[in-house]
């Protein structure tokens, strides 16, 4: 009689979930990978989709293709309704899935800090579909501007980015380059001196987690590119037409891009007492949920304190991948009855790009900015892309953009409604 394989259910196919599934696909586990999308999306480059530099397919990769010929890996397109820890079962809109080991890798979602108006009217950018929606809005702005009245123009021509972290900085820089290099060629009859990109940061510096040198340089780059950087700027409200700040000042805009924070995307059924700051799941040194011996949490959703990271690990792709590798090894150890391996992380550094030949890099032993930092940023991001084909497509797009200061991807693709 054949031995029944143990079931591993992985929730989420981001950096952590996908890396784990790939690492254990040749094991003796029966693996179910559940995600609401049938593709993996490379989130660090979503801003380039939003600004029409890359097509969505360039940074997305079909999950089923990754696991072709692996009959023990089952990809399921579903939304998670609830995790029943007592019965070891995940309830989804596509059925129920039993597990011996559950791995929660559901990542984070946009944090609006309880402001329902901002949640309703702002544009988030945490998924490929949201990036496409934002791209449509940005491009439609300029079509609308052609027939707008003088009173309507300010709201159309102001683009406000909230959040001065890597996403906000990279997006603001990309919008500034769009204004400078591309839009005047597409719309020769428009005055783009009226197009203003605002970057609003609640803290005292852009790229708050990076070194002082990188913070100062990133702000210098942005301001030289024409971005209006406002620090210590707290957004109070947004009604779809006007941004209101705590100091009473306002900015008219139809396009508010929210990159100001994230909150853990915790499945229903997880004990709220296991959650900590940022709505993350507290885990031990093995990435096991606090008090559990069969539920792991990895990636952005996991909160692990250590001597090197007393406030938890940063929510970065490198951390997610490293935790997935360690968890894969531990799942193998559980099959063999071996002791679990403690997760340790050595920070390789952080980086952000602002524009062409403008980037900042912080390594554990040094910081540098400029052209070299930009090439390092491009190389490392290309290495993280999943397939050789996608790497090649992105490299070609970047090369063409480098030499021509242009792209050919400014397509407005709106969903259609079926006729009744």
Contact assessment for residue 78 and residue 94, using Cβ atoms and an 8 Å cutoff? yes
DSSP string, 162-211: E--SHHHHHHHHHHHHIIIIIHHHH-TTS-GGG-EEEEE-SSSSSSTTS-
**For the chain, what percentages of helix, strand and coil (3-state, to nearest 5) are there?**
35, 25, 40
Note if 150 is an active site residue: no
10: which strand partners? 33, 103
Q: Is 133 left (phi over 0), alpha (psi -120 to 50) or beta?
A: alpha
The residue annotated as part of the active site, out of 143, 152, 170, 220, is 170
Q: If we measure between CA atoms, which residue out of 134, 362, 357 comes closest to residue 225? A: 357
| Of residues 333, 284, 328, 289, the one with CA closest to residue 304 | 284
Q: With beta carbons less than 8 A apart as the criterion, state whether 356 and 374 touch.
A: yes
Buried residues in 11-30 as b, exposed as e (16+ CB within 10 A): bbbbbbbbbbbbbbbebebb
Under 8 Å between Cβ of 376 and 359: yes
State how far the Cα of 335 lies from the Cα of 30, in Å rounded to an integer. Answer: 12
Q: What residues are annotated to the active site? A: 170
């Amino acid at each position: 009689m054949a031995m029944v394989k143990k079931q591993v259910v992985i929730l989420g196919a981001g950096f952590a979930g996908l890396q784990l599934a790939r690492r254990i696909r040749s094991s003796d586990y029966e693996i179910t990978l559940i995600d609401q999308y049938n593709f993996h999306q490379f989130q660090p480059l979503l801003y380039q989709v939003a600004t029409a530099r890359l097509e969505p397919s360039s940074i997305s990769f079909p999950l089923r293709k990754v696991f072709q010929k692996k009959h023990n890996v089952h990809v399921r397109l579903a939304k998670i309704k609830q995790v029943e820890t007592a019965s070891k079962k995940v309830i989804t809109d596509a059925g129920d899935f039993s597990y011996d080991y559950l791995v929660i890798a559901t990542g984070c979602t946009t944090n609006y800090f309880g402001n329902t108006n901002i949640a309703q009217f702002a544009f988030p950018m945490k998924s490929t579909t949201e990036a496409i929606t934002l791209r449509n809005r940005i491009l439609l702005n300029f079509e609308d501007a052609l027939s707008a009245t003088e009173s309507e123009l300010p709201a159309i021509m102001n683009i406000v980015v909230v959040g001065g972290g890597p996403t906000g900085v990279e997006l603001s820089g990309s919008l500034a380059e769009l204004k400078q290099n591309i839009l005047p060629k597409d719309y020769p009859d428009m005055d783009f001196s009226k197009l203003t990109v605002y970057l609003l940061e609640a803290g005292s510096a852009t790229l708050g987690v990076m070194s002082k040198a990188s913070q100062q340089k990133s702000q210098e780059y942005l301001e030289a590119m024409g971005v209006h950087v406002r620090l210590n700027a707290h957004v109070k409200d947004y009604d779809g037409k006007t941004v209101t700040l705590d100091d009473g000042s306002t900015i008219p805009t139809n396009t508010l891009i929210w990159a100001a924070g994230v909150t853990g995307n915790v499945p229903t059924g997880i004990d709220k007492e296991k959650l900590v700051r940022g709505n993350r799941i507290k885990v031990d040194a093995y990435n096991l949920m606090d008090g559990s011996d069969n539920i792991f949490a990895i990636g952005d959703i996991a909160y692990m304190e250590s001597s090197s990271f007393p406030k938890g690990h940063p929510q970065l792709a490198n951390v997610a991948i490293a935790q997935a590798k360690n968890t894969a090894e531990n799942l193998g150890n559980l099959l063999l009855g071996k002791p679990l391996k403690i997760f340790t992380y050595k920070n390789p550094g952080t980086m952000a790009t602002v524009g062409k030949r403008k980037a900042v890099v912080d390594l554990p032993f040094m910081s540098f900015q400029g052209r070299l930092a930009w090439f390092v940023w491009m190389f490392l991001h290309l290495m993280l892309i999943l397939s050789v084909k996608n790497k090649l497509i992105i490299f070609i797009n970047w090369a063409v953009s480098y030499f021509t200061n242009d792209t050919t991807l400014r397509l407005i693709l709106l969903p259609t409604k079926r006729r009744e």
